[in-house]
């Protein structure tokens, strides 16, 4: 399994989270096959299908089963490439159909209320205001946010360079308020937070080290409670809100796809469904004969 993990990481440029998930799925499958007295070279499509149905019977969600099937299919493809098996028994197995839930987004007023919470009266306030404004301005993932370096910003042209998944680089514009919040943070707060002048991280914690995912998650929850917003806000909520609000205001899907860093346009099309659902809801509430 170690060799398969290296294959995913190096040849497929998979993220650490993806490698961990795939290895866990494959190990669970291998254990189940071992329990049936089967070596992986003896596995048939029916065995894979039985395994998938078993996961569903045990209450696993369709999304979990679908991911597990993708992991198993990838593993057997790896074995075939190396001549260890002569077929991929997972290839003909249809994954469970996933009913994808529409993402939760904030209203325009909720975004304003949320972004207003950090007060620029101390170092933390400057930093937090800049982080939240940047996240909503660009729709980048939290992993991309905390990985940013100072050199990734060009405030003069109000652009951000983001290094995304699989090493893909994209340039994303910044609206003026976000650029101003970042400039204030870089001038008034960051020099007093970093431990050394040669620190490259754009956002650091109060100890002067690069901000962590856990630290930013706590920050989001703190300001959600402070704003009194009942919706469960996560870093991804701002990413979803960024995309939905752009679409509502006339942006095209391809541009949104590029800014979000989606490899497939189908991942971006979920926001069309979200906007269409909102139109339906407005119609049902407002039309006198609805």
- pLDDT score at 166: 67
- pLDDT score at 266: 80
Last residue of a domain, one of 63, 81, 99: 81
Characterize the bridge pairing of strands 159-163 and 169-173: antiparallel
Domain range holding 265?
Answer: 108-284
Same domain, 258 and 175: yes
- pLDDT score at 41: 83
Same domain, 118 and 53: no
Q: Which of 7, 11, 10 is nearest to 26 (CA)?
A: 7
Structure tokens belonging to residue 240: 């979803």
Same domain, 23 and 128: no
Cα angle 242, 246, 248 (rounded to 5 degrees) comes to 120
Looking up residue 15, the CATH number of its domain turns out to be 1.10.150
Same domain, 67 and 129: no
CA distance 251 to 68: 35
Residue 216 lies in a domain: yes
Residue 289 lies in a domain: no
Same domain, 21 and 121: no
Q: Output the tens digit of pLDDT for each of the chain's 290 residues.
A: 778 888 888 888 888 888 999 999 999 999 999 998 888 888 999 899 999 988 988 888 888 888 899 999 999 999 999 888 888 999 878 766 555 677 889 999 999 999 999 999 999 999 999 999 999 999 999 999 999 999 999 999 999 999 887 678 999 999 999 999 999 999 999 999 999 989 999 999 999 999 998 999 999 999 999 999 999 898 889 999 999 999 999 999 999 999 998 888 888 888 888 878 877 777 688 767 66
Residue 88 lies in a domain: no
- pLDDT score at 98: 53
Same domain, 125 and 7: no
DSSP E strands in the chain: the ranges are: 153-154, 159-163, 169-173
Residue 274 lies in a domain: yes
Contact by Cβ (8 Å): 72, 48: yes
- pLDDT score at 263: 81
- pLDDT score at 97: 59
Same domain, 53 and 187: no
- pLDDT score at 197: 87
Same domain, 182 and 41: no
Number of structural domains the chain divides into: 2
Phi-psi region of 30 (alpha: psi -120 to 50; beta: other; left: phi over 0): alpha
Looking up residue 121, the CATH number of its domain turns out to be 1.10.443.10
């Amino acid at each position: 399994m170690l060799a398969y993990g290296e294959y995913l990481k190096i040849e497929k440029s998979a993220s650490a989270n993806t490698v961990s998930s795939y290895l866990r799925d494959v190990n669970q499958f291998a254990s189940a096959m071992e329990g049936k007295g089967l070596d992986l070279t003896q596995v048939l499509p029916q065995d894979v299908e039985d395994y998938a149905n078993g996961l569903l019977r045990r209450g696993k969600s369709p999304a979990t089963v679908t991911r597990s099937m993708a992991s198993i299919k990838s593993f057997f493809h790896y074995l075939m490439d190396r001549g260890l098996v002569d077929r991929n028994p997972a290839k003909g197995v249809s994954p469970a159909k996933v009913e994808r839930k529409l993402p939760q987004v904030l209203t325009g007023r909720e975004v304003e209320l949320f972004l207003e919470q950090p007060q620029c009266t101390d170092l933390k306030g400057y930093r937090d205001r800049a982080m939240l404004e940047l996240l909503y301005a660009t729709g980048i993932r939290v992993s991309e946010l905390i990985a940013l370096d100072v050199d990734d910003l060009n405030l003069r042209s109000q652009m951000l360079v983001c290094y995304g998944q699989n090493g893909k680089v994209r340039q994303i514009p910044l609206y003026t308020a976000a650029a101003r919040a970042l400039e204030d943070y870089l001038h008034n707060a960051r020099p007093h937070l970093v431990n050394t002048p040669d620190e490259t991280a754009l956002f650091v914690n109060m100890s002067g080290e690069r901000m962590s995912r856990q630290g930013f998650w706590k920050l989001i929850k703190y300001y959600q409670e402070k704003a009194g917003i009942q919706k469960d806000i996560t870093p991804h909520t701002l990413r979803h809100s960024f995309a939905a609000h752009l679409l509502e205001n006339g942006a095209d899907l391809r541009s949104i796809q590029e800014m979000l860093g989606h490899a497939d346009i189908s991942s971006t099309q979920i926001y069309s469904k979200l906007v269409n659902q909102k139109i339906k809801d407005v119609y049902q509430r407002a039309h006198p004969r609805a």
